[in-house]
Amino acid sequence: MKKTKLVPNLTVLLYGPPGTGKTSLTRAFAKEFDIPLCVVESDRLVSALLGDTVKNIRKVVELSAQIAEENGAFILFFDEIDAIASERSNIHEVGEIKRAVISFLQIIDKINYFGTPLAIIGATNHQDQLDSAIWRRFTFHLKFDFPSFHLRKKIIESFINKISNAKIGVDDVILVSLNKEYALLKSKEEKLKSLMSKKKSIQDSNALWNDKTIIENRGILFLTRGYTGADLERGVRVALFKALKSDILTYENFVHSLELVGGTKIHVEQQYFLSASERKYSRDKKILRINHNHLEGPREI
């Protein structure tokens, strides 16, 4: 490494919708390699007092760097990093945040230059708001997306197994219908792939979900399009309250609970739609588009 004059470093930016596992992956990584981890809620570093935000950032990183040197490795995880690393050219950002971004960039450069064994990982749900220089400072960029029906099936089965292990009754219909629906979706997916010129994953495309047979046999996987792992967990928790009365988790209560909590994707799409419309259109046109979208109802996922 001395000959190359390059110092290895681990800086990773995790981005994507909330609830898709960014924090969970970081915790799992730390546990797998037995490395101490510090999770920082970035918004708590921001202060109304002039200069305090920069001081808070420096204190956290300097302390982490010291621990990293003493222990050989340390992970510093900034959750919602956009709170201290938003685009400096944004006219709505105050000077304090702009100074915080500059300070954060300088700190990362310093850590990398001295080869401190400190891994810096940042997570954000608003990657479009990050300063362009922030992207360049992170060596690896990992995008998190909504889980496919393959992954949703595994997540649901995992929760069902936990419930069963807790000696709570589970309606057999849940897993039977889940497996039946999955087999149908997988079969349709393979047929669609064979018809496409390019091999690529199409599990959550409209072509699959608009299939007449899929719609007629829609079940839990159809319902949970656009759900994150966190959404599924919330649905299971609600279902457990219902199960306490009857001592069994029924299919009807499980489905109703999932419907009740809803999926994250529709909310994320609406959020980005509004921000885009504000950039592109005048107030009158924006209102017209919002009203039109409201009349049409939720878009197909």
Mean pLDDT of 204-214: 81
Cα 104-110-114 angle, rounded to 5 deg: 155
C-alpha torsion sign, points 136, 140, 146, 149 = positive
Query: What is the domain count for the chain?
Result: 3
How much is the average pLDDT of 39-47?
88
Backbone angles phi, psi at 44, to 5 degrees: -75, -10
What tokens appear for 143 in the block? 């995008």
253 and 273 part of one domain:
no
pLDDT in tens, 15-31: 999 989 999 999 999 99
According to the model, what pLDDT value does residue 280 have? 39
Same domain membership, residue 105 and residue 28: yes
- Is 188 part of any domain? yes
Q: Which of 43-47, 60-64, 128-132, 242-246 has the highest mean pLDDT?
A: 60-64
* Residue 5, domain member (yes or no): no
What's the average model confidence in pLDDT over 44-59? 84
Domain boundary among 87, 119, 143: 143
As given in the structure block, the two tokens for residue 65 are 């760097």
End position of a domain, from candidates 143, 164, 196: 143
Q: In what order do the strands lie in the sheet with 37-41?
A: 37-41, 74-79, 118-124, 11-15, 140-143
Shared domain check, 133 and 44: yes
**In this structure, what DSSP letter does residue 103 have?**
H
Same-domain check for residues 258 and 273: no
Comparing 45-54, 88-97, 160-169, 269-278, which segment has the lowest mean pLDDT? Answer: 269-278
pLDDT(225) > 80: yes
- Residue 43 confidence (pLDDT): 86
Same domain, 118 and 236: no
Residue 39 maps to which CATH number?
3.40.50.300
2 falls within a domain: no
Residue 3 resides in a domain: no
- The whole-number pLDDT of residue 183 equals 96
Interval 255-301: pLDDT, tens: 999 999 999 987 766 554 444 444 333 333 333 333 344 344 443 33
The stretch 96-117 carries a mean pLDDT of: 84
Instruction: For residue range 98-107, list pLDDT tens digits in order.
Output: 788 888 888 8
Do 157 and 243 lie in a common domain?
yes
Categorize the per-residue pLDDT at 90 as very low, low, confident or very high, splitting at 50, 70 and 90.
Answer: low
Q: Do 121 and 19 belong together in one domain? A: yes
Return the sign of the alpha-carbon dihedral for residues 119, 122, 128, 134: negative
Both 187 and 225 in one domain: the answer is yes
**Residue 66 located in a structural domain:** yes
Residue 94: per-residue pLDDT? 55
pLDDT at 266: 79
- Segment 241-267 mean pLDDT: 89
Q: How many CA atoms lie within 13 A of 237 on its CB side?
A: 7
Same domain, yes or no: 132 and 154: no
How much is the average pLDDT of 238-244? Answer: 88
Q: What is the pLDDT of residue 242?
A: 84
Q: Mean pLDDT, to the nearest integer, of 112-134?
A: 90
Q: Please state, in angstroms and as integers, the Cα–Cα distance from residue 259 to each residue in 60, 168, 238, 298, following that order.
A: 41, 22, 10, 14
Domain with 120, as residue range(s), is 11-143
Q: What is the pLDDT of residue 229?
A: 93
